[in-house]
Amino acid sequence: MKARTDVIAMLREGHSDASIVRALHVDYKTVAATRRTLHIPQHKPGKPPAANPQVLFDQRVRPVGGGHLDWTGYRNAAGLAAFRWAGRTYTASRFAFETHYGRPPVGKVIPGCDQDGCVQGSHLEDQPMRQKLRTQLASIFGGTS
Ligand SMILES: [Zn+2]
């Protein structure tokens, strides 16, 4: 059998057998045989996967007053805002932190603003940032640490 390039192209784009049959007027056997030959896995029904984790993050946040971002998505048993992309679990605050600062956070990430659970990248602080702030405040006001 000589595989049709248009069938191959649609298979590689992730279309289902049924939609290729409809679009190209080929029979199911041709599509199935081409899929087997090229080892392309069966199309999974449902929404196509998001192109990157940022897309999923953006779908799960809601801007609130003051530039804060509310998380509207899933929370795990510990109440942590999280989402999965490409088989990996992302914590919303760590993802937002790394996207904003361009480096992975060190230690716990918590909002430095007064909005509980805020996931706005620029509002998030990790351990070294909090430490630096404490040191600065101590030098200004004369801390006890
Ligand atoms: Zn905030």
Q: Each residue of 3-52: pLDDT tens digit?
A: 799 999 999 888 889 999 999 999 999 999 999 999 988 877 777 778 89
Q: Are strands 82-85 and 88-91 parallel, antiparallel or unpaired?
A: antiparallel
Query: Token pair for residue 54?
Result: 């940022």
- Interhelix angle 5-12/28-38, nearest 10 degrees: 70
Q: How many whole angstroms from 142 Cα to the centroid of ligand 1?
A: 28
Q: Which amino acid is at 6?
A: D
DSSP 68: E
pLDDT band at 145 (very low <50, low <70, confident <90, very high): low
Find the mean pLDDT for residues 52-58: 94
pLDDT at 144 over 70: no
DSSP 105: -
Q: Whole-model pTM?
A: 0.65
Q: How many whole angstroms from 81 Cα to the centroid of ligand 1?
A: 15
Which residues pair with residue 64 across a beta bridge?
68
Q: How many whole angstroms from 116 Cα to the centroid of ligand 1?
A: 8
Q: How many whole angstroms from 105 Cα to the centroid of ligand 1?
A: 17
Report the helix count and the strand count for the chain, using DSSP H and E.
Answer: 6, 6
Q: How many whole angstroms from 114 Cα to the centroid of ligand 1?
A: 7
Residue 108 is predicted with a pLDDT of: 95
What confidence tens digit (pLDDT) does each residue in 57-114 have?
A: 999 999 999 999 999 999 988 889 999 988 899 999 999 999 999 999 999 999 999 8
Query: Where are the chain's structural domains?
Result: 5-38, 53-141
Q: How many whole angstroms from 87 Cα to the centroid of ligand 1?
A: 29
